[in-house]
Amino acid sequence: MTTTTRPRRAPRPSWLLLIPALGLLAAVLLVPLGQSLLTSVGAPGFTLEHYAALFTDGVTLTVLGRTVATAAIVTAVAFLLGYPYAYLMTRVGPRLRGVLLVIVLIPFWTSVMARNYAWIVLLQRGGPVQSVFEFFGADDIAFQGSVVGVTVAMSQVLLPFMVLPLFSSLGGIDRRLLLAARGLGSSPLVAFWKIYWPLSRGGVVSGLILVFTLSLGFYVTPALLGSPQQSLIAQLLAQRTTQLLDFAGAGALGILVLVITLTLVAWANRFGGTISAIGAAAATDRKEQR
């Protein structure tokens, strides 16, 4: 009965609207990507030596491991900060929700450089953050020029990418389901765990994937706040293209990162896809009943 009220599939010619976007993507993404791929396999000949080198040069794998670890930590931090924040956003009045939303979005509206230099000021040797830690006796922590500082700054910069998908997902959850669960014998905590959490998983998966993949390719923050001794994969790429002019090696590295990212997204889509589909269905049901 509900299906008949849903809008029918859009009429045929509407896919024409995709052409400008697809054209742009082809020109600025697919073409250069294809070129990188060709370069990396030694076109016009064919060799896999640049790929083999990634695994044998002793640097790439270390940096890759460090990058994945950093990205994982950043993602975890953003999740731990973002989930309660997004939950709160769904519980407050419209005015306060607006304020909370602006606070999240400010990093979006601030220039990348301004944000990173602000973190340098805060985290630098003798800066306010380190002074606080020194006051409590922890005087050997270096924030600037280390992965710690990079993690802190990246978490802040990427927080919106966690909060926004979470907010849209949590906002679609019908809170009366929690009442229903209470009435059926669940304590508040159990009701959250068995009802609210599974229904929020779609947003959680999108948030995690967004933040993780963005962290993998982060360049500016590690470049400014990190150090060459603890460089991340994006710095390595930049070094190969701008200093070593090793385009084949850079291409191979780029393709490797791309493959890792795509694999991750595909896996998450399979895992999160069904969940977000159910979440969407629940949200539609709710709208129809209004």
Partner 1 sequence: MTISSTSRAGKPTSVASATKQGTQIRLEGVTKDYGLAAPAVDDISLTIEPGEFMTLLGPSGSGKTTTLNLIAGFETLTSGTIALNGSDVGSLPPHKRNLGMLFQNYALFPHMTVAQNVAYPLKERKVPKSEITRRVGEVLNLVQLPDRDGNYPSQLSGGQQQRVALARAIVFNPAALLLDEPLGALDRNLRAALQTEIRRIHREVGSTFVFVTHDQEEAMNLSDRIALFNSGHIEQVGSPEQLYREPDTLFTARFLGDSNVFDLDGAASATSAGWDGRTWSIAPGTVSSHPGASVRAAVVVRPEDVRVAHDPADVPSGSNSVGAVVRDLEYMGSYRTALLDLGRVRQLGRARVDALDSTFTVGDQVTAWWKPERQRIVAA
> Which residues 6+ apart lie within 8 Å of 151 measured at CB?
70, 73, 74, 77
Smallest separation, CB 179 to partner 1 (Å): 6
Stretch that binds partner 1, among 16-24, 44-52, 103-111, 169-177 (CB under 8 A): 169-177
Q: Taking CB under 8 A as the rule, does residue 285 contact partner 1?
A: yes
Of 177, 256, 258, 260, which one interacts with partner 1 (CB under 8 A)? 177
Q: Which is nearer to partner 1, 73 or 278 (CB)?
A: 278
Q: Which of 100, 228, 211, 207 is nearest to 154 (CA)?
A: 211
| Tokens linked to 165 | 């998908």
Q: Residue 57: count other Cβ atoms within 10 Å of its Cβ.
A: 11
Q: Which is nearer to partner 1, 1 or 17 (CB)?
A: 1
Q: Is the dihedral of CA 167, 169, 175, 181 positive or negative?
A: negative
**DSSP-derived secondary structure for 2-70:** HHHHSPPPPPGGGGGGGHHHHHHHIIIIIHHHHHHHHHHTTTTS---HHHHHHHHSSSHHHHHHHHHHH
Smallest separation, CB 56 to partner 1 (Å): 47
CB-based contact 32:247 (threshold 8 Å): no
Of 145, 207, 222, 279, which one interacts with partner 1 (CB under 8 A)? 279
Of 54, 90, 120, 174, which one interacts with partner 1 (CB under 8 A)? 174
Smallest separation, CB 202 to partner 1 (Å): 10
Smallest separation, CB 279 to partner 1 (Å): 8
Q: Which is nearer to partner 1, 195 or 248 (CB)?
A: 195
Residues 2-31 that bind partner 1 (CB under 8 A): 2
Q: Which of 274, 136, 154, 137 is nearest to 211 (CA)?
A: 154
Q: Which is nearer to partner 1, 171 or 217 (CB)?
A: 171
Cα dist from 136 to 68, 181, 277, whole Å: 31, 46, 49
Residue with tokens 């896919």, as numbered in its chain: 15
Backbone angles phi, psi at 132, to 5 degrees: -60, -45
Site string for partner 1, 180-219 (x = CB under 8 A): xxxxxxxx--xx--xx--xx--------------------
Smallest separation, CB 107 to partner 1 (Å): 33
Q: Taking CB under 8 A as the rule, does residue 286 contact partner 1?
A: yes
Residue with tokens 């000949």, as numbered in its chain: 45
Residues touching partner 1, count (CB under 8 A): 29
Q: Taking CB under 8 A as the rule, does residue 1 contact partner 1?
A: yes
Q: Taking CB under 8 A as the rule, does residue 93 contact partner 1?
A: no
CB-based contact 254:241 (threshold 8 Å): no
Which positions lie near partner 1, rule CB under 8 A?
1-2, 174, 176-177, 179-187, 190-191, 194-195, 198-199, 275, 278-279, 281-282, 284-286, 289
